[in-house]
Amino acid sequence: MSEQEKLPEKEKNFSEWYHELIRRTLIDQRYPFQGFLVYRPLGAEMFSRAINILEELLRERRHQKVYFPSLIPEKLLKKEEHHIMGVAHEVFWVTNAGKTNLEEPAALRPTSETAMYEMLRYWIRSWRDLPLKIFQSCSVFRYETKHTRPLIRDREILWNEAHTSHASMEEAEEQIKEGIEIYTKLYEKLAIPHIWIDVITGVFAGAESAKEAYTIFPDGRMLEMGSVNNLGQRFSRAFDIKFKTRDEKEDYVYQTCYGVSERILSAIVAVHGDNFGLVIPPEIAPIQIVLIPIFYKEDREEVLKETYKLKEKISKETEYRIVLDDNEEQTPGEKFYKWELYGVPLRIELGKKDIEKGGITIVRRDIKKKEFVENKKIIEKIKFLFEDITRNMQKRAKEYHESKIVFAKKIENIPKVINENKVAKIVWCGDIECASKIEKQVNSVFVGKAIDEKADGSCIWCGKTGKFYGYVGKTY
Ligand SMILES: [Zn+2]
């Protein structure tokens, strides 16, 4: 398919649309090792901007940045039994260096608990050292045996992981709330609507409990895009992370961990993109404004001169990331097409007519609306538009997300909801038995229960008083 050819239609064939769009803009899948992605400049820039936002949110709440080794000796990985049982099947092992066999094989980190916690026992001595909150942005490696899917299920995962240690279980529980709050802020900035779910099965290996954030894709599948785990004392006992309490006793620390990966990129694509290409929230758009001169032979000089002047003005008075596309090999139409595909939030067109009228033409990417703006109002208008685009993207995505969740009163209604590419919300008593029977009956996933929302009604399976809302659907 040529780059100028139309994208497949998002509404009719979501999967084809998604793969074609990310292939043209964010990634290159031709690297000869399945599940290992090459990020093109736009993909790499977008992701690092999102991670920068997250790192700032973590710092604001007193998390400190660290970096731990990517190789983890086998003995460390094996220290916590639930953990090794949970991750063993997907670990990459390094067994030799050149011609030398390593004395002990080392795992390419599948996640960093075991590397970090080995060292925390040196760092934590007393209650005065707590809470200790650290994070790192790095990649982790997992030999996914399921079908890989770019930006959704990769074998090298780019992520940010945070790890916290506390003096009591209550403090760890409070930290879980802070983790959720931090991620919620991040998703808001990216305009990704989501629901938080208390996971009932498939909890992260070594954790006591897990809360996960899900967004819903147009095909009705739920994408997990962040998890916050309470580890309790499982790891601290295994790694001997003890501290002196206020009353001079000894206890093991209580821990939490949370992580967000490149899946946020896939969510931005799926939630906001349209049949013309990406729609990127202004805050993380690597290019926020593209400036396109529109001229004929006779007014070329004049229009170009004015366009350069305008670029200088905007660059001088603001910090917006702006590009002037003065490539004369392409027509304005081809340029519009290209920058729409790349999701640039604002396009400024400047032609002879605009100059004569004393202004510019601005087109916003989210709703593709065009308007004329007078010269003296340009800067304030751009500022307003960026805010308005973010607000509009949040609102539009939220409404769509809500339309994808349908309350099912009876079990017979669930398959219909799922067939319409939606997610069923049901009342559930809290019994795991009921959850697995519902799963079998409707051949879908019981993802978990809503957090902080008490149900009213009776369990869709057993009819007893329902305490929770549960979500049933398809997942990635
Ligand atoms: Zn029940």
Q: For residue range 287-346, list pLDDT tens digits in order.
A: 999 999 999 999 999 999 999 999 999 999 999 999 999 999 999 999 999 999 999 999
165 CA to middle of ligand 1, Å? 36
69 CA to middle of ligand 1, Å? 46
| 167 has pLDDT over 90 | yes
Q: How far apart are CA 122 and CA 141, in angstroms?
A: 27
180 CA to middle of ligand 1, Å? 28
198 CA to middle of ligand 1, Å? 17
Q: Bigger pLDDT: 205 or 179?
A: 179
Mean pLDDT of 49-68: 98
Please tell me the CATH code under which domain 14-272 is placed: 3.30.930.10
401 CA to middle of ligand 1, Å? 27
Q: Mean pLDDT over all residues of the chain?
A: 96
Q: How far apart are CA 179 and CA 474, in angstroms?
A: 26
437 CA to middle of ligand 1, Å? 9
Least confident among 3-7, 62-66, 211-215, 360-364: 3-7
222 CA to middle of ligand 1, Å? 23
Mean pLDDT of 256-277: 98
Q: pTM score, two decimals?
A: 0.96
386 CA to middle of ligand 1, Å? 47
Q: For residue range 128-149, list pLDDT tens digits in order.
A: 999 999 999 999 999 988 889 9
| 5 has pLDDT over 90 | no
Q: What is the pLDDT of residue 3?
A: 62
Q: Are strands 370-374 and 254-261 parallel, antiparallel or unpaired?
A: unpaired
- Domain ranges across the chain: 14-272, 289-385, 405-475
- Judge if 14-272 and 289-385 fold alike in CATH terms: no
458 CA to middle of ligand 1, Å? 8
Mean pLDDT of 207-234: 96
Q: How far apart are CA 154 and CA 271, in angstroms?
A: 20
| 262 has pLDDT over 60 | yes
Does residue 7 sit in helix, strand or coil? Answer: coil
CATH of 405-475, one of 3.30.70.260, 3.30.110.30, 3.20.20.70, 3.40.50.670: 3.30.110.30
138 CA to middle of ligand 1, Å? 42
| 1 has pLDDT over 60 | no
Q: How far apart are CA 278 and CA 40, in angstroms?
A: 14
Please tell me the CATH code under which domain 289-385 is placed: 3.40.50.800
Q: How far apart are CA 218 and CA 215, in angstroms?
A: 10
Mean pLDDT of 412-433: 96
